Chains A and B, each alone.
Chain A
Amino acid sequence: MRRIIGTAMTLAIVICFSTSLVLAADLPKLVGLTIPEAGTDKGWNEQGKVGLEAIAAKYGFKMELGEALGYGDIKPTLRDMVKKGSDLIICHASGYQTVAPEIARETGVRVVTTENHKDVTPGLISDIDTQPQGGCYMAGYLAGKMTRSNIVGIVTSGEPPTWNRMSAGFAQGLKASNPGAKLLYSLIGEAAYADAAGAKRNSEDQIAVGADVIFGMGDGASFGMLQACSSKKAKDGGKVWFIDVIGDKSSIDRADVLLSSVLWDMSVVYDEIIQSWKDGSFGKQHWVAMDNGAIRLLEPNKAVPSDVRKEIKDLEAKLKSGAIAVVDIPVAADLHKFLNEHFPK
C-alpha cells in the first residue's frame, strides 16, 4: 500500500511539473516592441511600452524594446530582434505595417501590426486597431457642457485613422450635448507629432476666436496645446479647458486646466494577444475599445458639476451597451465631410 501511495505521489508530482513546463512553453519568452518615438511621451509610445511591461510582469516573459525608431524602414531592428530570440514582435506604429509582415513571412517569427487588417494571418500576424471614438464621444459631450462661449476646438498633429476616429467621436458627442456649439478643427501638419510650437500656435489661434475648450491629439505636440491653454485666457477672462488623449498629464497641469483625457490601456489588448498565443488562436484582429476596457475617460476636473459627471457615467453605460452608436470614420476626407455637414463653416 505504501509503495502504491508513493508511486501515485511521484506520478502526481511528475504530472504537475510537466504540465507547468508545457504551460511555460505556451508563452513567448522574449517579446520585442518597436515604437517610433521615445517611450516617455505620455502618449501613444509610452502607453505601448507601459502596457507591455505590465503584461511581461504578469506572464513572466522578457521584453526587448526598440524605441525612437522613427517612421522609416525598421527592418534592421526587426532582424536584430529575431536574431536575439524574440518569439513575438509588436510593431507599435501604423507606419510599420509594410515591413512587419515582410519580416514575419521571411523569418516565421510572429508579429503584431497596427491598423493593418489586410495582413492578418492565422498563426503568424495579428493586428491591433483602435475604436476610441466612444471615449471621445464622452469627451465631446463633456466639452459641450463645459464651454461658456459655445466655441470648441480640435487640434490634431496628424490625420491617421485613429486620430480621425477620435475627432469624429468627439464632434458627435459635442453635437449631442450642445447642438448650437461651433467646432473649430486645426491640423498642425502631416506628421507633426512632436511639433509643440505648431500645436501652441494652432491652439492660440482657436483661443483668439473664442474657443474655451480644446481637444488635443498630439503625442509630444500636446505639451504645446497644454501650454497654450495654461497661458491664455478665454475671451470672457476665464479658463481655457484642455482635453487630452491617451495619457494622463495631471502631474504637470499646474494651471489646473486639464478637463479630462481619453485614456488608453494597451495592456488590455496585449493580454488578449498572449491569451490567443496560449489558446492557439494567434493571428487575428484586436481592438483598443471601450467594451474591453482599453478606452476610458479620466476622472473629470473637480470643476465639472456633479450632474454632468452623472450624465457622463450614464453615457458610458449606454455606449458600452450599444444603446448609443458612435460613428467610425478613419479616413480624413470622410472626416472633413462629416465635420462640414454637422458644423458648417
Chain B
Amino acid sequence: MSSLMDMALIGAVMASTLRGTTPILLGALGETFVERSGLLNLGLEGMMVAGAFASFLVGFKLDSLMLGFVAAAAVGMILGLLFGFMTITLRVNQIVVGLGITIFAHASCSFLHRVIFGNQFPIMFTAGQTHEVPLLSKIPLIGQPLFNQHWLLYLTFLSVPVLYFIMYKTSLGLRIQAVGETPWAADSSGVNVLKTRYIAILFGGIMGGLAGAFMSLGDLAFFVPNMIMGRGYIAIVVVMLGKWDPLKVFLGALLFGFSMSLTSALQVAGVKVSPDFILMTPYLVVIATLLIFARSTNLPAALCVPYERGQK
C-alpha cells in the first residue's frame, strides 16, 4: 500500500475532494436558505439535472461556457419559481411538488437530449478548464490540487463566509430565519412571508442549477442522463447534518466529498478490504457524524408548513 500511496495520489485525492464537494456544497448552500425559510425542496436533484442539461445544451450550441452557466442559473430559477408557485401560493404539499419536479426534470432532460443529440454524446472540449491562482498554485504538494481548479469551485468556497454573513448579520437573513420559525410572528412584525420565501426558493433554484452546471461543464465536459446520481439528495442530507448553518454545511459537504475521494483512493492504494466495504465509507461517515454531532437537531419550526395569514 505504501508504495502506491505516493504524493501524486495524495494530490489527486485533494483535488477530487474539492471537485466532489463543489456540486454538493452549491446545492446545499442554496437549500440551507430554502429550508431556513420553511420550505423543503426535494426538487433540488431535478434542478441539478436540469441545470446540467441546460448548461451543456446552451454552452455547446452557442459555443459559450459563460452562457451555459447563465442558462443553468436561469433554468434553476424557473424551476424554483414553479416550486414556489405550487407550494407558497397554491400551498400544495412540498414533498409531492419537489419529487414531481425531480421526476419531470429527469424525464424531460433525457427526452430532450435524445431529440437534440440523437445517439451522439458530444463533448465540449473547452469545458472543464482549470485556472491557476498565481503564487498559491506554486506551493509544493498542495499548490496544484487546491489552487489549479475551475473558477466556479473558487467562487463556491468563497461564497461560504459571504452566505454565513448574509444569514446571520443582515436583515434579509434574519427575515428568512423568522419566516421559517414563526411566520405568523414575522408577518405581524411587517415581514412579507410569501415574498421572503420566494426569494429563498429562487436563490435555491439558482444554486441548484449551477451545481448541475458544475457537473457538466466544470468537472466534466458532457451531459449524460442520470449523471447527478443522487447528489441533490446528498445535499439535502448535508443541510440537516450542518444544522442549517452555512459554515457547518460547508464542513459537512467537505467531509462527504473527502469520503467520496477516499473510496477510489483506498482502492488504488491497494488496501486489502473489499471494495464493497470501501464504497460504504461516505455513508458510514455521515451516519457516524449525525450520531455524534446532530442528535439535538433543531428543525426550522415551520419547515414544510404552508403559510396563510390568519391561520396558525
Residues of chain A whose beta carbon lies under 8 Å from any beta carbon of chain B:
37-42, 46, 68, 153, 159, 184-190, 192, 194-198, 200-202, 204-206, 208-209, 220-221, 223-224, 227, 231, 235, 251-252, 254, 332, 336, 345
How many whole Å from B112's CB to the nearest CB in chain A? 12
Q: B13 an interface residue at 8 Å Cβ cutoff?
A: yes
> In the complex, given contacts A194-B227, A195-B229, A205-B9, what are 12 additional A-B residue pairs having Cβ atoms less than 8 angstroms apart?
A184-B267, A184-B270, A190-B276, A196-B222, A197-B215, A198-B229, A198-B260, A201-B264, A209-B6, A220-B224, A252-B122, A252-B123
Given contacts A205-B265, A252-B123, contact A197 B219 (CB under 8 A): yes
Tell me whether A40 and B219 are in contact (CB under 8 A): no
Residue in A46, A159, A251, A345 with the greatest tally of chain B CB atoms within 10 Å: A345
Q: Is B1 in contact with chain A by the CB < 8 A criterion? A: yes
> Across the interface, which residues of A come within 8 angstroms of B265, CB to CB?
205
A-B pairs with beta carbons under 8 Å apart, 19 shown: A37-B226, A41-B224, A186-B275, A194-B224, A194-B226, A194-B229, A195-B227, A196-B220, A197-B19, A197-B227, A202-B264, A204-B15, A206-B268, A208-B268, A209-B8, A220-B225, A227-B222, A336-B274, A345-B1
Chain A residues within an 8 Å CB radius of B264: 186, 188, 198, 201-202, 205
**Are A204 and B220 in contact (CB-based, < 8 A)?**
no
A72 CB to nearest B CB, Å: 13
Q: Quick check: A197 and B20 within 8 Å, CB to CB?
A: yes
Known contacts: A38-B110, A201-B20, A208-B11. The answer to whether A196 contacts B279 by CB under 8 A is no
Please state if A254 and B123 are interface contacts (CB–CB under 8 Å). yes
* B165 within 8 A of partner (CB): no
- CB contacts (< 8 Å) of A336 on chain B: these are 274-275
Task: State the CA gap A201–B267 with chains docked (Å).
Answer: 12
Q: Which residues of B contact A345 (CB under 8 A)?
A: 1, 270-272
In-complex Cβ contact of A42 among B16, B121, B226, B279 (8 A): B121
Task: Known A201-B16, A224-B220; judge A208-B8 contact (CB<8 A).
Answer: yes
Contacts of A153 in B (CB 8 A): 268
Chain B residues with Cβ under 8 A from A202's Cβ?
264, 267-268
Q: Given A194-B225, A196-B220, A208-B12, is A38 in contact with B114 using a C-beta cutoff of 8 Å? A: yes
B129, closest chain A residue (CB): A231
User: Could you say which of A227, A254, A332 contacts B220, with CB atoms under 8 Å apart?
Assistant: A227
Chain A nearest Cβ from B148, distance in angstroms: 13
Residues of A within 8 A of B4 (CB): 209
Within B8-56, the residues touching A (CB, 8 Å) are 8-9, 11-13, 15-16, 19-20
Cβ of A208: which chain B residues have Cβ within 8 Å of it? 8-9, 11-12, 268
| Chain B residues near A192 (CB-CB < 8 A) | 229
Q: Is the CB of A209 within 8 A of B229?
A: no
With A220-B224, A220-B227, A227-B222 known as contacts, the answer to whether A204 contacts B122 (CB < 8 A) is no
Tell me which residues across on chain B come within 8 A of A198, comparing CB atoms: 229, 260, 264
Distance between A114 CB and nearest chain B CB, rounded to angstroms:
20
Chain A residue contacts of B215, Cβ below 8 A: 197
Residue-by-residue, is B114-125 near A (CB-CB < 8 Å gives 1, otherwise 0)? 100111111101
For the complex, is B261 an interface residue (Cβ under 8 Å from A)? yes
Report the separation of the CA atoms of residues A206 and B269 in the bound assembly, to the nearest whole angstrom. 9
Assembly CA distance A195 to B219 (angstroms): 12
B224 contacts A254, CB within 8 Å?
Answer: no
**From residue A70, how far is it (CB to closest CB) to chain B in Å?**
9
B125's partner among A186, A195, A220, A254 (CB-CB below 8 A) is A254
Cβ proximity bits B251-291 to A, threshold 8 Å, 1 near / 0 not: 00000000011001101111110111001000000000000
Given A40-B119, A185-B267, A220-B227, answer yes or no on A197-B220 (Cβ-Cβ < 8 Å). Answer: yes
Contacts of B118 in A (CB 8 A): 40
**For residue B20, which residues in chain A have a CB less than 8 angstroms away from its CB?**
197, 201
Complex alpha-carbon distance, A202 and B16, angstroms: 9
Rounded to whole Å, the gap between the CB of A65 and the closest CB of chain B is 12
Is A201 a contact partner of B260 (Cβ separation < 8 A)? yes
Task: Verify A68–B279 contact, CB threshold 8 A.
Answer: no
Asked if B229 contacts A223 (CB within 8 A), the reply is no
CB B229 to nearest CB in A, in angstroms, measures 5
Residues of B within 8 A of A209 (CB): 4, 6, 8-9, 268-269
Bound form: Cα–Cα A187–B118 in Å: 29
CB-based nearest B residue for A218: B224
Q: Among the listed A159, A196, A254, which residue makes an inter-chain contact with B227, where contact means beta carbons less than 8 Å apart?
A: A196
Chain B hits for A41, CB < 8 A? 121, 224
Question: Which of A37, A187, A200 lies in contact with B279, CB distance below 8 A?
Answer: A187
- Which chain A positions have C-beta within 8 A of B274? 336
Q: With A and B bound together, what is the CA distance between A38 and B118 in angstroms?
A: 10
When the two chains form their complex, are residues B121 and A252 in contact, meaning their CB atoms are under 8 A apart? Answer: yes
- The CA-CA distance from A209 to B265 in the complex, in Å, is 10
Contacts of B276 in A (CB 8 A): 187, 190, 332
Determine if B279 and A190 form an interchain contact, defined as CB atoms under 8 angstroms apart.
yes
Whether B128 sits at the interface, judged by CB under 8 Å, is yes
A261–B272 alpha-carbon span in the complex (Å): 30
**A223-B222 CB under 8 A given contacts A46-B119, A195-B229:** yes
Assembled-state Cα–Cα distance A189/B13 (Å): 17
| Also in contact, A200 and B114, with CB within 8 A (given A37-B226, A205-B265) | no
Residues of A within 8 A of B71 (CB): none
A206 vs B20: C-alpha distance in the bound complex, in angstroms? 17
Residues of B170-191 whose CB lies within 8 A of A: none
